[in-house]
Amino acid sequence: MESNTPSKTIWNSLIRILSAIREVRRYPVIPIVILLVVLVIPAIFAPFIAPHDPLDGRLPDRLLPPVWDSNGSWDHVLGTDKMGRDILSRIIHGAKYVLLVSLSVIFVSGIIGVSLGLIAGYFGGWADMLIMRLVDVFLSIPAILLALALVSARGPSFGIVIFVICFILWSRYARQVRGEVLAIKTQDYVVRARVVGASHFRIIVRHVLPNVANTIVVLATLQVGFVILLEAILSFLGAGIPRPTPAWGLLVADGRDLIISGRGWQLSLFPGIAIVLVVLSFNLLGDWLRDRLDPKQRNL
């Protein structure tokens, strides 16, 4: 019996570890950690954790390789760009612009799209027809061409980026919410609320909106990745946030001319990795929220 005690202890420990891993897998731990490390913490504490000023460069230090290269330096862990500016510091400071653009766009476009979707789905008739035709028109407009046209007329700016993405994104909210409301407004509790004399505003706020809240949350989470990617594309093309702001799309664009030469590859690689990690993490988080908030999926 004594000889079996160590093996039982090891077996029980292994079972507890597997149970803990199974429990952790129920939650999006890895995406949340990535978002905290790559986006949220750098965006909030950039002045305190960035090793250098993102706009301060020294030409003698231009195009230094990362620290693990034989010519690298611990003073610039990820190397420097063409102006001798620290890449790590620029990525850290660029996170706050990514977070600011994404939150602003999701908030503004969400309010517009959800409001119009509620009106179209609840009232129907000419309001539904007019709003849905607007949705079709806005969905057919290419965001990149619109941004390039506005930049040609007004020049690149932070406001144009937010306007262009909101211009495109609100229609996705409106179409999704309208479809949900069409099913909800025929439910018994909505019909009874009408019978007892509740106003349209009260029915929408108290009965309809709470029942589409889960859909709005999931859609907003999934759209964050789309917003970040679209902002990076616009900045890469010169139609987004203007220089010398260290937006991630601009950081990728800074290295596109040097990729073929083999020198300066770090300029595009590391900001590109940051974009991929953040977009993928938001998509995984959105998928998890959809599974958790959908009653049909939750009961499986």
Domain boundaries, the chain: 32-298
The span from the CA of 107 to the CA of 149, in Å, is 25
The pLDDT value recorded for residue 300 is 42
> Nearest Cα to 288, choosing from 17, 19, 24?
24
What is each CA distance from 190 to 121, 186, 206, in whole angstroms? 13, 7, 10
**DSSP line for 190-225:** HHHHHHTT--HHHHIIIIIHHHHHHHHHHHHHHHHH
The span from the CA of 55 to the CA of 47, in Å, is 12
| 11 pLDDT tier (thresholds 50, 70, 90) | low
> Nearest Cα to 264, choosing from 95, 89, 84?
84
Which of the two residues, 114 and 80, has the higher pLDDT score? Answer: 114
Q: Is the pLDDT of residue 295 over 50?
A: yes
Nearest 10 degrees: CA dihedral of 97, 103, 108, 110?
150
Which residues, other chains included, contact 231 with Cβ-Cβ below 8 Å and sequence gap of 6+?
98, 101, 102, 161, 165, 240, 241, 247, 249
Segment 57-86 shows an average pLDDT of 81
The pLDDT value recorded for residue 111 is 92
The pLDDT value recorded for residue 1 is 45
What's the chain's length in residues? 300
Segment 18-42 shows an average pLDDT of 79
Tens digits of residue pLDDT in 143-193: 778 777 877 777 777 888 888 888 888 888 999 899 889 888 888 888 888
Mean residue pLDDT of the chain comes to 82
How far is C-alpha 298 from the chain's CA centre? Answer: 24
| 113 pLDDT tier (thresholds 50, 70, 90) | very high
Q: Is the pLDDT of residue 63 over 70?
A: yes
The predicted model scores a pTM of 0.81
CATH number of 32-298: 1.10.3720.10
Tens digits of residue pLDDT in 26-35: 777 888 889 9
Which of the two residues, 1 and 131, has the higher pLDDT score? Answer: 131
Q: 86 has which bridge partners? A: 80
| 250 pLDDT tier (thresholds 50, 70, 90) | confident
The pLDDT value recorded for residue 130 is 92
